[in-house]
Structure 1
Amino acid sequence: MSDQPFRYRVYWEDTDAGGVVYHARYLAFFERARSDWLMAMGFPQVPMRERDNRLFVVRRIDIRFVAPARLEDELAIRIDVEHLRSASLTFDQHMHRVGDEQLLATARVDAACLAADRFAPARMPEDLRTAIQQQQQRDKQ
């Protein structure tokens, strides 16, 4: 779904004593990319919560670690929407190292849309759903 990957640098705070990215930090990089993806689509999360009373929560995440990311690597994360429903979506994310394009990790993320005031399932904003559908159509061409 993302035409251009979202890029992030690995810093000391992301690594263990050996300079390898700590496994839990992969979650943070994947989360950051999804947040940046929403902003790039024109739907930052704070206005969506305040204006539309909507937010997204992760229901499930499956990560497959392929190769280690290391200190000072530049990471590129691509995002595709695998399934789109009225109140949920499934993301397929791929993390590569910039330069050698080595696949480092993949994540499949099930996210639910909630009414922010009740934390109950709710339809996502129609304009966001339409924007995702339009992007999916462009990706198929």
Structure 2
Amino acid sequence: MTSQPPVPSSQPPPFSWPTRVYWEDTDAGGVVYHAQYLAFLERARTEWLRALGYGQDLLRVEHGLVFAVRAMRIDFRAPARLDDALDVSVALRQCRRASLVIAQDIRCDGRLLLDAEVKVAALDADGFRPRGIPETLYEKLKSLEQGAQ
């Protein structure tokens, strides 16, 4: 019996942002405080957009667009601790005209600590009302869409 080489995935690997756990991120026991995970997830999404060429300030100033979290589901699986080196991933699951669904996880040495699904709305920067994502960004995001896994 001969084995077949693996078929390359047409999906890009998730974006990954490294971060470290500092004293300020933890409770008195040296465990990451639950709300701090939201900051880790937010920073990774911001850096993902920046890596695509669409920093938050550029979106606001040049396109009149901001993204705001509309809903989030988080599963805490294991704690992160003081000095842990973390990898926070971002994978676009769904891109619609005025919203995104993003899958994220946080790992330490490959071990899953947290996974989340984040629903993000595209809003007008002045009135904070829903609006469409600019066409060039929409096309770029649509090409990165990975679908549910």
Equivalent position to 2:138, from 110, 129, 132: 129
Tell me which residue corresponds to 2:8: none
For 1:90 and 1:135, how far apart are their aligned partners in 2? 12
Give 1:79 deviation, angstroms: 1.0
Structure 1, gaps ≥5 residues long: none
SS of 1:118's equivalent?
Answer: coil
Residue 59 (structure 1) aligned with residue 70 (structure 2): yes
Are the counterparts in 2 of residues 2 and 37 from structure 1 also a CA contact under 8 Å?
no
Count of residues in correspondence between the two structures: 136
One-letter amino acid matched to 2:125: A
Match of 1:84 in 2: 95
Structure 2 gaps of 5+ residues are 1-11
Q: Deviations over 1:10-39 (max 9, x none)?
A: 000000001000000000000010001100
Q: Which residue of 1 aligns with 2:24?
A: 13
TM-score (normalised: structure 2): 0.86
Q: Distance in 2 between matches of 1:3 and 1:77?
A: 10
Larger helix proportion, structure 1 or 2? 1
Residue in 2 that maps onto 1:75? 86
Check conservation: 1:2, 1:79, Cα contact below 8 A.
no
Instruction: State the Cα distance separating 1:2 from its structure 2 match.
Output: 5.3
**Backbone CA RMSD of aligned residues:** 1.5
After superposition, the C-alpha distances for 1:26-79 in whole angstroms (9 at most, x for unaligned) are 000000100011001110010110111000000011110000000000110111
Displacement of 1:129 in angstroms is 1.2
Residues 58, 3 of structure 1: alpha-carbon distance in 2 compared, 3 angstrom cutoff: closer
The answer to whether the 8 Å contact 1:89/1:110 transfers is yes
Counterpart in the other structure of 2:35: 24
The offset of 1:118, in angstroms, is 1.1
Aligned letter for 1:136?
E
